[in-house]
Amino acid sequence: MRLIGLTVKEDDDPGFINLVQRLIHGVVSTKKPNAYCVVRIDNWFSERWLNFSGKTLGALGVHKRPNTTFPPIVPSRVRSYTLFKWFSEKDDYRNVEKFHSVHKWQQSGTNLQNFVINAFPDAAFFWFSGNSKENQRGSLMGYVSSSGECWTWFLEFQMKGEWKQTKRASITPEQVAFFLSKCLGHAKGPCPT
């Protein structure tokens, strides 16, 4: 499996982008979903987005329902959205040019029905924060669906001489280390360090 090749933008810290890319690669090469999507968000976001479905009655926030929904991130915060699909004849993931974004302008209540499993029963979605150079912190969130379930997790990193994990939810330090280790070597060459 080739690396996704995240582009380092002007407001990105290259070390953070490298870390995000390695973690995504580790999860995808381990879980092997039929598709995966990488979404760059304009700025840092907190763990409160994890399992957030939307608001009901205009005020009450709804988290983690029986069926996980996509986080209701407004499209104006999305800087890039790239979908990759597995092609067995190429034995690799390839970029899909035409697709419908899961982030669209809609009523918050409508998102309460935007179920991950219905739209993508065997896929992984990753959201990471932009502006990591100025903020000196960054976030990465993953939703991995398979076999009728969706594993959701969140990581926050801060620059403290080097990028250090400062928060996590629903992912263990051992899982993080394992996914990072998956990028040390693979069939098509080593991952960047």
- Tens-digit pLDDT profile for residues 152-181: 999 999 999 999 999 999 999 999 999 999
Mean predicted lDDT score pLDDT of the chain: 88
In a domain, residue 1? The reply is no
**How many structural domains does the chain have?**
1
Classify burial at 55, counting beta carbons within 10 Å of its beta carbon; exposed 0-12, middle 13-18, buried 19 or more: middle
CA distances from 122 to 32, 143, 151 (A): 9, 11, 11
User: Does residue 5 sit within a domain?
Assistant: no
Q: What gap in Å lies between CA 146 and CA 39, rounded to an integer?
A: 20
182/143: higher pLDDT: 143
- Tell me whether residue 38 is in a domain: yes
Domain membership of residue 190 (yes or no) is no
Distance CA 2, CA 67 (A): 32
Does residue 71 lie in a domain region?
yes
Confidence of residue 76 (pLDDT cuts 50, 70, 90): very high
Kindly tell me if the per-residue pLDDT of 144 is higher than 90.
yes
What is the reported pLDDT for 187?
A: 44
Residue 59 domain boundaries:
14-181
Q: What is the pTM of this model?
A: 0.90
In a domain, 175, yes or no: yes
Q: Is residue 106 part of a domain?
A: yes
Residue 29, domain member (yes or no): yes
**Which amino acid is located at 48 in the chain?**
R
Tens of pLDDT, residue by residue over 83-141, are 999 999 999 999 998 877 888 777 767 778 788 999 899 999 999 999 999 999 999 99
pLDDT at 61 over 90: no
